[in-house]
Structure 1
Amino acid sequence: MLTKNSSNYSIMNKRILTLGLASFLSVGCFAQVKPLIPNKDAMRFSKAINKDNAYKHLSVLASDAYEGRETGKKGAWMAADYIRDYFKSLGLKGPVDGSYFQKIDLVSYALSENMLTINGQPKVAYKDFVIASNAVGLKGFTFSSDDLIFAGYGVSNDSYNDYNGIDVAGKIVMIFVNGDPTKTLDPNDRRAMMMARSRKINYLAQNKAKAVILIDPALDNLSEERKAAYLSGQMVMKSKETVERMEKMNPFTSISISTATADEILKVGSTSVSAVQNKIADTKQPASQTINVAISASAMKKETPLRCENVLGFLEGSDPKLKKEVLVLTGHYDHIGITPEAPGADKINNGADDDGSGTTGVLLMAKAFTDAKKAGKGPKRSILFMTVVGEEKGLWGSDWYSEHPVFPIENTIADLNTDMIGRIGEKYLGKPDSANYIYSVGSKMLSSELGRLSEQVNATYTKMILDYKYDDPKDTQRIYYRSDHYNFAKLGIPIIFYYDGMLEQDYHQPGDEVSKINFPLLAKRAQLTYYTAWELANGAKRPAVDLDGKGNPKK
């Protein structure tokens, strides 16, 4: 699941519920719903969805060998190959001109050359300085100046202002990347540190500085892993929207330098990094100054295509009239890869729960439905099993499919999305029902029939707690918008997003390991998805879109 609330999509104004009604609807009780007549065939083939089969897949996909499955890198390619081979072994068809891969136009923009000189002396890239490719516009940059402004910590607030009396417009400004003399930041809180850094850079960009030079002690002993991360470049999915946005962008240029390089510059101003830090700490006053040093820098970008694909397996429906209608079952197989700066020896973000568990659920359902078809009990409608890539980068894979659908959008009846279904979230830890719940997200946003069917299926087969917490319009985490189902919902396709609520422990950390997965619970949640899919694929009618996307009746 995405690291933070996505800003790439418009915010939908969800229905307003009274506090009492919201509380009542937060948990669905299966006892209040009239069950369906159990389908013996559905129950028979559900046996393929079990904890042992789940472990078989997830122990491979979330192993260290897959290196955290980062989009555009080796581990993701290995995962894509594994899923393709499994789909093929089941007898699913490759629906993309005979292929199981839907290619995504992914490129990397890396620096083909970069340069920094101080008083005419060239500095060494990835030793004395670093220019990140995402801090350079598509056309690159070049600048030179006979002086720069040193502005301490780059802090500007009511009690302390490094820019007091200073006009930064058109200037090169040098600041400490970390630190704030007005507050103490936890260096282990990477989110807080990044937000503080962004505020400093945004201030300079908004005040029309030419560029910022960041004094970053992390460069003093740059590891080979971190150097490789800089050299790997900036990944970009070249959708129409992205290309148009990048062509208009002119990112504010930032250059990071080592402490030694900063000392070389500050020496001209008769000070040093340690001296100015001590002075600010002692006086509680800024120590900003203009330094008359000749500085020049430039960087150019090079575009390199990267391998990237959604993996699709197609099961054709058995009913001549209904098989043109398609149910989509999704889960994202990518994760965030390797984090060189992660504390401890383990640097691999295995992504067992996020979203190895959901991907595993899709594979288990593919097995159950293909078993049914081989026994002459295949679904009436067609099913597209789709594991998507790039979710962690910004819902890339599902966004690409929404712009380049393999099957007509008007024939797509629903999307059931499994993203994190293998663990127990904080709300349920230690409770009697801890291993018998799932967050059901979005089932009642576009189709009252789909929401009702979901509850009937659960009351008939799995009898889990359906928690609707994240359908609340007051949800500050905006979970409804943060996984691949949303790229179907925005097209008016009914969705259900199944999610365990596990944002508290090991989320996007190396600790998201296979050893922490509750496999019986993963299998049960996948069975709920499967039974819902069975009813959708075999029902007399597709679920009507009778709600406006906010849970209100259509006008």
Structure 2
Amino acid sequence: MNCRVFFVVMAAASINAVFAQTLKHAEFGVPWSETITPGELSNHLHILAADSMEGRETGKRGQRMAADYIAQHFKSVGLLPVSGSYTQEVPLRVSQLKGGVLTIDSQQFLYKTDWVPYPGIEVSEIEGQVVFVGFGIQDKDAGWDDYAGMNVKDKVVIFMAGEPGNSKKGYALTGSKEPSSWGSRRNSKREIADSLGASAVIVVTEEYATLKSRFLPWLSRERMRLDVDRKGEGTDVPTLLMNPSSLLALTGWKSLDHARKKWPKRKLANVSFGAGKIALARKDEKVVAHNVWGMIPGKDSTLAEEIVVLTSHYDHVGVDKSGEVYNGADDDGSGTVSLLENAEAWMEATKAGEGPSRSVLFMAFVGEEKGLLGSEWYSDHPAFELEQHVCDLNMDMVGRFDEAHADDDRYVYLIGSDKLSSELHDISEAVNNAYTGLSLDYTFNAPDDPNRFYYRSDHYNFAKHGIPVIFYFSGVHEDYHGVGDTPGKIRYPKMAEIGKLVFLTSWEIANREKKLVVDRVNDFPTNR
């Protein structure tokens, strides 16, 4: 043996020894991990991603059928219900803007031509006197108050985007040719109006055409959110964006520049109007969907209070207007059937007397495609205290391959594994090195990843509460959210290997003497 080969062998042996020291329990789960097979994954997926499931869109019949299938599987393999049920209700509100009319002093302004709602508007009708408030700025430090001497309680306020002044003659708030931050602080202006009691806000902006083109696709589609009152920072004051030409038609002013010049000295005419009314035609209804869950109680009387969580989302995007079914075999049928197989493998071990020391919770979330709604609801209404959750191992799109791995599909992207717990990351690496041998790709595990995948699946709603996570992901492919995402294109052997990696990682964590240590400061911002 030459020296180079000798040192390579010794280095490999040293690495294996380190991994062996990291793992204490995983080897005992190997026989049960072998029950996760390509054939059983395929059987489940050909049911969950069949046309008969109608694309599993949240709130629709197909989603309810899928929930029933998952719940029945959990029950049949022997998982226990959580809080007396295999499902958790998730209250939702569905809304869609159909149109509307803005009336000021009996003059009507048309939806799209003259105005569009600011995203998030929830009301259907608002009335009140309309008053112009300049730039809508209050800044004590700069000595500026557009609301001085005005009572805007229960009134509709109109203000211009931007700030007084320009780069040639200088800006009033800074006293220099450098602008203040107010030019881009539209939401801060809305918050001021809200704090002063305004019933609604109309923002006049020369970017109207650009903003309208961005907002209209979002406004015209059906929107779903959790049916909860939003409290905390920010404002939900009803807001419209207005075309400058529409304001000029209302006031008779020559131009917005004319208004900008005259307003600071309060020499602008026609700033107070009569009655105003905003009437929106909208669909607004309540829907109840369901997360699906089941659990295995831990056998250790002390450790059973701690919960290891395995998750996926079972919803997809439904059926298009022409009747084409978007099956969502990879997104996220693949993660969901992997979850089913993990649950079954864990139950086989439990029935053989090899159950986990900690409790293991299996959850298939609804509403991921609508904005991580099911997992957000769970993290705000957990079945157990959040402090009891040890980690979340989340599987989403684990059945295909992307362009970067066209020549070798034995890989998986891992996202978040090292962001809160170095111990979780080390266990994951050690399990893979010892038992599955996949290529672990951390390409997307960076805060500057432009794809922002860290924020785009359900693990995020655990991580934002400081619970360690791993997001298992195979990347985006040409059929992402398309009609081509079908069971026939899934790499079932690859998916089985990822399922085994998840299973053995959960086995190690569920049986360790001590809970995972949270020892990292997450470099991903918690606000997505």
TM-score normalised according to structure 2 size: 0.67
Larger Rg: 2
Offset of residue 65 of structure 1: 1.3
In structure 2, the residue matched to 1:91 is: 78
Q: Deviations over 1:334-376 (max 9, x none)?
A: 1111233xxxx77222111111101111111000001111111
In structure 1, the residue matched to 2:303 is: 322
Higher RCO (CA 8 Å, separation ≥ 6 residues): 1
Counterparts in 2 of 1:420 and 1:134: CA distance versus 1, 3 Å: farther
CA distance in 2, matches of 1:305, 1:246: 23
CA distance in 2, matches of 1:371, 1:142: 60
In structure 2, the residue matched to 1:549 is: 522
CA distance in 2, matches of 1:103, 1:363: 20
In structure 1, the residue matched to 2:507 is: 534
Task: Please tell me the residue identity of whatever aligns with 2:313.
Answer: H
Report if aligned partners of 2:89, 2:289 keep a CA contact under 8 Å in 1.
yes
Report if aligned partners of 1:328, 1:385 keep a CA contact under 8 Å in 2.
yes
In structure 2, the residue matched to 1:288 is: none
Give me the identity figure in percent. 41
Secondary structure in 1 matching 2:391: strand
Structure 2 residue 356 is matched with structure 1 residue 387? no
Secondary structure in 1 matching 2:429: helix
In structure 2, the residue matched to 1:23 is: none
CA distance in 2, matches of 1:78, 1:31: 46
Structure 2 residue 237 is matched with structure 1 residue 238? no
CA distance in 2, matches of 1:373, 1:55: 24
In structure 1, the residue matched to 2:165 is: none
CA distance in 2, matches of 1:241, 1:460: 47
In structure 1, the residue matched to 2:204 is: 207
Match of 1:105 among 86, 91, 94: 91
Report if aligned partners of 2:462, 2:469 keep a CA contact under 8 Å in 1.
yes
Counterparts in 2 of 1:481 and 1:170: CA distance versus 1, 3 Å: closer
Match of 1:47 among 28, 31, 34: 34
In structure 2, the residue matched to 1:359 is: 336
Report if aligned partners of 2:26, 2:507 keep a CA contact under 8 Å in 1.
no
In structure 2, the residue matched to 1:411 is: 388
CA distance in 1, matches of 2:469, 2:120: 38
Structure 1: 5+ residue stretches without partners:
1-28, 118-128, 144-168, 172-204, 217-225, 255-295
Structure 2 residue 122 is matched with structure 1 residue 138? yes
Offset of residue 69 of structure 1: 1.1
Counterparts in 2 of 1:319 and 1:235: CA distance versus 1, 3 Å: same
In structure 2, the residue matched to 1:332 is: 313
CA distance in 2, matches of 1:354, 1:483: 11
Match of 1:516 among 473, 489, 506: 489
**RMSD between aligned residues:** 4.2
Secondary structure in 2 matching 1:523: helix
Report if aligned partners of 2:25, 2:507 keep a CA contact under 8 Å in 1.
no
Report if aligned partners of 2:205, 2:241 keep a CA contact under 8 Å in 1.
no
Offset of residue 307 of structure 1: 2.0
Secondary structure in 2 matching 1:527: helix
In structure 2, the residue matched to 1:505 is: 478
Task: Please tell me the residue identity of whatever aligns with 1:332.
Answer: H
Counterparts in 2 of 1:83 and 1:133: CA distance versus 1, 3 Å: farther
Structure 2 residue 31 is matched with structure 1 residue 57? no
Structure 2: 5+ residue stretches without partners:
1-13, 104-112, 128-156, 160-201, 244-276
Offset of residue 244 of structure 1: 8.4
Query: Relative to structure 2, which stretch is displaced further, 40-49 or 532-541?
Result: 40-49
Offset of residue 542 of structure 1: 1.5
In structure 2, the residue matched to 1:310 is: 291
Listed as ranges, the matches of 1:388-467 within 5 Å are 388-430=365-407, 434-467=408-441
Task: Please tell me the residue identity of whatever aligns with 1:427.
Answer: A
CA distance in 1, matches of 2:524, 2:288: 39
Offset of residue 133 of structure 1: 10
Offset of residue 241 of structure 1: 3.2
Structure 2 residue 39 is matched with structure 1 residue 66? no
